[in-house]
Amino acid sequence: MSFTIALNFEDGVTRFVDCGPDDTVVNAAYRQGINIPMDCREGACATCKCRVESGKYSLGDYIDDALSKEEAGAGYALACQMRPESDCVVLVPTQSTACNTKPESFVAQIEDVKRLSDSTFSLVLRGDDLRRLDYLPGQYANLQVPGEAEQHRAYSFSSMDAARTKVSFLIRNVPGGLMSGFLRERAKVGESIRLTGPIGSFYIRAIQRPVLMLAGGTGLAPFLAMLEKIAANGGSKYPIHLIYGVNTDRDVVETDRLDALAQRIDKFSYAICVVDANSEHPKKGYVTHHIEPTHLNEGEVDIYLCGPPPMVDAVAQHLRDVDIKSASFHFEKFAPSLS
């Protein structure tokens, strides 16, 4: 038996390694070409000290000067001694390049392009090369724009199929945008696209308390991936609420998927809010107008937010206004790029 260890580096690059229960994370990574910084391999120097964000593991043998009881209790471990007992996510406090690694690249073919609304495309890529791909739900990839040398755009994964040969993305339709123009005018089924990743520190952590998800427009994509993972893992014993905000009724997409996820995850609920005052949806305005005190649970809540910079700033200000400091606040800002 082996476990999958996600090594997440300071620059947002994530690499996945297989590690047996009798092996250490350092040794498993080294065999797979990733050199986690270390000096001793004996649990004495603390050079390989990492923080384990999720998963079960044994700490192994080490001296107190290398890892204190307080640090161990806070989730830190020495990668040269740590042995996994489940899949784990490990934060490595250095750049990926310092560990002789970098994001991987994959080539896939367009299977489908759909215009879900005036503002949103769905892009589905398929290819056997994707069997090598793994990601933490919420992360993104850089997609090379076909026909545009050295031009790429970052998009969050919204799903991967069970066969691990197909991934999907939600892409904002930006007037004058390179990727938008390609999808609108030139994209053909079977055309190849190179993607590089996974990248990013925005991903679902172990659920230990209620979760509030806030999505703006195509910022819904990473939450779809997160919720698919939660459903596949048997759901959550804590409430999960998503507030999905858009500008107009025409911008609302993927409600069928959200309804299906609500059926699969007992404690998941979602609400849609629309800025347009003439919307047919009952909730109007911005997401901050619809964050209820129960969603914040007096601060004992993990908040995940993906949306444009003004939305991120508005939510941060709202939390200050209501004097709530959440247990954790993870966010991903995105802005359209034309060139």
Q: In angstroms, how far is the first alpha carbon of the chain from the final one? A: 47
The CATH number for 79's domain is 3.10.20.30
Nearest-CA neighbor of 138 among 268, 211, 225, 16? 225
d(CA 209, CA 213): 13
Residues 79 and 131 in one domain: no
Residue 25 belongs to what domain range?
A: 3-99
Name the domain boundary from 172, 199, 226: 199
Residues 190 and 278 in one domain: no
Name the domain boundary from 82, 99, 116: 99
d(CA 167, CA 320): 38
Condensed to tens digits (0 to 9), the pLDDT of residues 267-294 reads 999 999 999 999 999 999 999 999 999 9
Over range 292-309, report the average pLDDT. Answer: 97
CA angle 29, 31, 34 (to 5 degrees): 45
Task: Say whether pLDDT at 220 is over 70.
Answer: yes
Task: Say whether pLDDT at 335 is over 80.
Answer: no
Condensed to tens digits (0 to 9), the pLDDT of residues 129-173 reads 999 999 999 999 999 998 887 789 999 999 999 999 999 999 999
**What is the number of domains present in the chain?**
3
Q: What percent of the chain has pLDDT over 90?
A: 94
Condensed to tens digits (0 to 9), the pLDDT of residues 240-254 reads 999 999 999 999 999
Task: Say whether pLDDT at 338 is over 60.
Answer: no
How far is residue 265 from each of residues 122, 202, 256, 268, measured CA to CA in Å? Answer: 24, 21, 14, 5
Q: Phi first, then psi: give them for residue 317, nearest 5 degrees.
A: -65, -40
Instruction: Evaluate the CA torsion angle 104, 109, 112, 116 in order and state its sign.
Output: positive
Residue 58 is assigned to a structural domain of this protein: yes
Name the domain boundary from 140, 164, 199: 199
